[in-house]
Amino acid sequence: MSICYELFLEDIGVGDKSLATIAKYCTPLEHLNLKLCKSLTDTGFVQLVVGRGRTLKSFGLVFGESLTGVSLEAVGFHCISLQTLLIESEFINNRGLLSIVK
């Protein structure tokens, strides 16, 4: 088990495989920054949120074309301890945003 509470991966090539590893091994993860990580897709992101969403308290993310409302809906459903969410995107839709607000 890895003891990793904070992970800042800004502007690097994090992909689906890396997110799956983080979800599996970074069990106490509370703070995650994935801003400007252009290799993210819904598949890997949703896997990360399903695996670590309950422990995440803060999240930083820039949504590109490869992440859709599906990812936001996963955040809304699985990140029950979330206190801070920083999102930058021109691709956010109402459905994804409403799922986070609820």
For residue range 8-50, what is the model confidence (pLDDT) as tens digits?
888 788 888 988 888 888 888 999 998 877 788 889 889 999 9
Q: What is the per-residue pLDDT for 102?
A: 77
Is 45 in a helix, a strand, or coil? helix
pLDDT, tens digit, 9 for 90 and up, residues 61-85: 876 667 788 888 898 899 999 999 8
Query: Has residue 1 been placed in a domain?
Result: no
The secondary structure of residue 5, as a DSSP letter, is S
Residue 55: predicted pLDDT: 93
> Quick one: pLDDT band at residue 1, thresholds 50, 70, 90?
low
Question: Domain residues for 43?
Answer: 6-101
| Identity of the amino acid at 50 | V
Query: Which pTM does this prediction carry?
Result: 0.82
Quote the number of domains for the chain. Answer: 1
Q: Terminal CA-to-CA distance of the chain, rounded, Å?
A: 32
